[in-house]
Amino acid sequence: MNQDERRFDFHGLGAALKRARKEKGWTQAYVAELVDRDSRTIMNIENKGQYPSFDLFVKLITMFDVSVDQFIHADGGARSSSCRKHIDVLLNSMNEKILFFPRLL
């Protein structure tokens, strides 16, 4: 069985979590308390790209409402992710008549 050898780079995600934390005005110590971890763990995730456990990863991205799409999809990056979100919003705003019969407009 072939294993995917790509490694997820947590540096970008750590920076996004740090920005989101600062926007809330929270300290690393406060976040650490909320997720029952040491503040050094939060510091290492934010600044050094340390890999968190899956449980902690889910807690942090949920807590700060951080989308991981831009970090996971290496082919498009943040620009592609925001473009995709914009297209999804436009598509979701269209009714079936517009989507299936665009020449009737």
CB 56 within 8 A of CB 35: yes
pLDDT in tens, 31-72: 999 999 999 999 999 999 898 999 999 999 999 988 887 777
pLDDT in tens, 65-92: 888 877 776 554 445 556 777 677 776 6
CA dihedral 75, 21, 10, 69 (to 10 degrees): -30
User: Which position has the higher pLDDT, 5 or 86?
Assistant: 86
**What is the value of pTM for the model shown?**
0.63
Residue 47 dihedral angles phi and psi, to the nearest 5°: -100, -25
Q: At what angle do helices 10-24 and 54-63 cross, to 10 degrees?
A: 40
8 has a pLDDT exceeding 80: no
Instruction: State the greatest distance between any 2 C-alpha atoms of the chain, in Å, as a whole number.
Output: 60
Please give the sequence-ordered ranges of beta strands (E in DSSP) within 35-91, or none if there are none: none
